[in-house]
Amino acid sequence: MYANILFPINAPAFTYIVPEELQADIRVGSRVNAPFKRGHKVGIVAETGKHLVKKPLVCKPLASILDEGPFIQENMLKLIKWVTQYYMAAPGLALKNAVPSAFFSGKKAGTSRITYDAEIKKGKSIELNQEQEAALYEINNAHKGVFLLHGVTGSGKTEVYINAIKSLPENREAIVLVPEIAITAQMVDRFRSSFGDKTAFYHSGLSTGERITQWQKMRKGEVRVVVGVRSAVFAPFRNTGLIVVDEEQEPSYKQFEGLRYNARDVALARAQIEDFKVVLGSATPSLEAYYTARKGKFRYLELKNRVDRKPLPKVEIIDMTKAEKRTFSLSERLLKKLKENVAKGHQSLIMLNRRGYAPYFMCSACGHTYRCPSCSITLIYHKDTQTLNCHYCGSYLNPEPLCPGCRSADVKCLGAGTQRVEEEIRSFVPAISFQRMDRDTTRKKLSHYRIVRQMEERKIDLLLGTQMVAKGHDFPDVTLSAVISADIALNMPDFRTAERAFQLFTQLAGRAGRGDVPGMAYIQTYETGHYVFEYVLNHDYHSFYEKEIKYRKDLLYPPFSKLVRIILSFRSKESGSADVRLISKRIQKIDHNGIEILGPAPAPIEKIRRLWRWHIILKGKNAKALRKQALMILDTVRGVRDLKVDIDVDPVNMM
């Protein structure tokens, strides 16, 4: 007997002989200890049988079996197989993402620190309104299928999720996906108030011991609901009845390195494999999801009104080319409204989607700017550490007092990030109680949770942050929301730029006015003529969709096509250019089979982590034909030395 063993590495399965003494106990899905190179490695049995080896082959024997029964169930192995095929990845890489690495390294579950309040607060019983009841009825009366729950901000989508899970049979489990760790805190509290200790949470902020503990609780059926970010889609439930993907449009559901999967799409595939239902929720659905619903492949549910008919916030666009400005980033009008809001005892929320202090550290005498030696981008100045940081590779420099180009002392910080705006607001509104929420302030464990809790307890007058503050939070006392430097979102070299900007601005505006006091949203921009603002002003998703979908159809971009991006990375720019010319000639000789091939061309960010990058974009209507074409192109790069190849199926970022 032979067995194919998957290890959590970027590789296919390895074939081993199953010794006679192990044959009676071996099970597909069990962990085994197997010889690997000069040592041993723990892997998962993917398949067994005599048929695995068709011709004489020298195989090593397995050393031992670690589990009495399957460690991971058949449904998860099927999902790993689907992920492997769809994303053109090695099955070992899919396993590595699906199961915590600690289960292969022998680490034990440590004593979990309390990640959220130990005490479970019983939530108030909320009576659903007519729109919520109608949506819930549709979800509850289906055994399977996909629902797009399109509800304006503050319309009570979370209550629909909770009630849909309550309506599942007692033996069915549910997965609730959220796009950011920052949202998890409030979501966990909401679900724990309804499901108590039957709620688990799962995200990258947990320690190794906590991840093991939570994963084992799911595997053993000790919890009924898991709330988590991307990787929670692989929760080891055996009898899933529902997956909720909240804010389904968010690009953070996509993993950008290694296995480049999209948790939303994996959720849809898992539902098909295991025969259950999925609810995709959003105030601003992705164009692909809304298009699919319009075509009747998803069932469309709409919540047009906020709970208790509360009005949506009024939106005002501040033209920064004409407005009186206190600084480049802050208009007098926004500062005035912020001071008034604080004086009234209300809370405010401001988003600037750029962290650090300043994006440019430039000599005004000679124009020298500091650039990352490993990446083709400028370094961002962080005043708290007094370093110039690269947000791509993580490297940093300590700037010299004099310009390295001309030795001038006239070096200035240009532009603004969250650190600089925090400094400016504190100087202009000194009495304000303030917190900043970005990647720099939330590195420590529980930091997201503490900031969210301070907002809920009204210990903060103003929360400033990157886009993580715009998503999913429910702070009833926030009556003012604002976007600083909206132009950052409007000028990305990507066909989804307008869609993302509309979603971000609408979501941020929707944080205001959820309580008893109506809200106001202010968007500062130097580009008021952009068509996105016409629709943001009126919270008009449907009209925005009609305009944007025409562009997509004319250019044959998703949802009218599928994309595959192949990224070629070289250590040398010169040798890479020569190799790319060779690869390009080879590509021209293959049959394109109706697939449009763009490139190879330099990637927008040409160099990352000392690797020079070119990319090839494949565009076509048939996903299988597209992957077949990608495999043919991969054949053209065989034999090219010092080349790293990454494949991104359904890319959400072209940078």
Q: Which of 233-237, 399-403, 443-447, 633-637 has the highest mean pLDDT?
A: 233-237
Give per-residue pLDDT as tens, 72-128.
999 999 999 999 999 999 999 999 999 999 999 876 655 555 455 556 666 667 899
Residues 6+ apart with CB under 8 A from 137: none
Task: Report the pLDDT value the prediction gives residue 429, as an integer from 0 to 100.
Answer: 93
Closest of 240, 276, 281 to residue 264, by C-alpha: 281
Tell me the longest C-alpha to C-alpha distance in the chain.
Answer: 83
Average pLDDT of the segment spanning 429-446: 90
Average per-residue pLDDT for the chain: 93
In a domain, 278, yes or no: yes
Tally of CA atoms within 13 A in the half-sphere of 434 that contains its CB: 20
List the CATH number of the domain containing 93: 3.40.1440.60
Same domain, 286 and 337: no
Average pLDDT of the segment spanning 578-599: 92
Task: Report the pLDDT value the prediction gives residue 221, as an integer from 0 to 100.
Answer: 93
Tally of CA atoms within 13 A in the half-sphere of 313 that contains its CB: 30
Task: Report the pLDDT value the prediction gives residue 217, as an integer from 0 to 100.
Answer: 94
Domain that holds residue 18: 2-105
Q: What 3-state class would DSSP assign to 16?
A: strand
Average pLDDT of the segment spanning 557-563: 96
Task: Report the pLDDT value the prediction gives residue 121, as an integer from 0 to 100.
Answer: 65
Closest of 91, 14, 90 to residue 53, by C-alpha: 14
Decide: 524 and 334 in contact? Cβ < 8 Å. yes
Task: Report the pLDDT value the prediction gives residue 110, as an integer from 0 to 100.
Answer: 52
Task: Report the pLDDT value the prediction gives residue 471, as an integer from 0 to 100.
Answer: 82
Task: Report the pLDDT value the prediction gives residue 52, as an integer from 0 to 100.
Answer: 85
Same domain, 195 and 319: no
In a domain, 534, yes or no: yes
Same domain, 74 and 62: yes
What is the residue-wise DSSP string for 560-617?
SSEEEEEEEEES-HHHHHHHHHHHHHHHHHS--TT-EEEEEEEEEEEEETTEEEEEEE
Same domain, 296 and 322: no
Average pLDDT of the segment spanning 149-175: 96
Same domain, 180 and 56: no
Assign 400 a pLDDT band (cuts: 50, 70, 90): confident
Give per-residue pLDDT as tens, 461-489.
999 999 989 887 889 999 999 999 999 99
Same domain, 14 and 101: yes
DSSP 331: B
Same domain, 343 and 459: yes
Task: Report the pLDDT value the prediction gives residue 119, as an integer from 0 to 100.
Answer: 61
Quick one: CA torsion of 303, 305, 309, 311, rounded to 10 degrees?
A: 150
Assign 13 a pLDDT band (cuts: 50, 70, 90): very high
Residues 6+ apart with CB under 8 A from 17: 1, 2, 3, 59, 60, 61, 62
- Which residues is 563 bridged to in the sheet? 619
Task: Report the pLDDT value the prediction gives residue 118, as an integer from 0 to 100.
Answer: 56
Give per-residue pLDDT as tens, 180-210.
887 777 888 889 999 999 999 998 778 888 8
pLDDT over 80 at 134, yes or no = yes
Give per-residue pLDDT as tens, 509-531.
999 999 999 999 999 999 999 99
The Cα–Cα gap between 556 and 561 comes to: 6
What DSSP element (H or E) covers 214?
helix 208-219
Task: Report the pLDDT value the prediction gives residue 50, as an integer from 0 to 100.
Answer: 87
Same domain, 166 and 271: yes
The Cα–Cα gap between 590 and 572 comes to: 27
The Cα–Cα gap between 267 and 140 comes to: 19
Same domain, 470 and 588: no
In a domain, 169, yes or no: yes
List the CATH number of the domain containing 614: 3.30.70.600
Average pLDDT of the segment spanning 30-49: 95
- Indicate the residue among 518, 553, 588 that finishes a domain: 553
Same domain, 175 and 77: no
Instruction: Look at 114 and 275; give whichever has higher pLDDT.
Output: 275
In a domain, 362, yes or no: no
In a domain, 335, yes or no: yes
Decide: 645 and 634 in contact? Cβ < 8 Å. yes
In a domain, 393, yes or no: no
Percent of the chain exceeding pLDDT 70 equals 97
Task: Report the pLDDT value the prediction gives residue 111, as an integer from 0 to 100.
Answer: 53
pLDDT over 60 at 402, yes or no = yes
Task: Report the pLDDT value the prediction gives residue 575, as an integer from 0 to 100.
Answer: 92
Assign 424 a pLDDT band (cuts: 50, 70, 90): very high
pLDDT over 80 at 57, yes or no = no
Same domain, 302 and 322: no
pLDDT over 60 at 229, yes or no = yes
Number of domains, the chain: 4
Least confident of 35-49, 169-183, 258-272: 169-183
In a domain, 365, yes or no: no
In a domain, 384, yes or no: no
Same domain, 180 and 40: no
Task: Report the pLDDT value the prediction gives residue 109, as an integer from 0 to 100.
Answer: 55
List the CATH number of the domain containing 544: 3.40.50.300
pTM for the model: 0.94
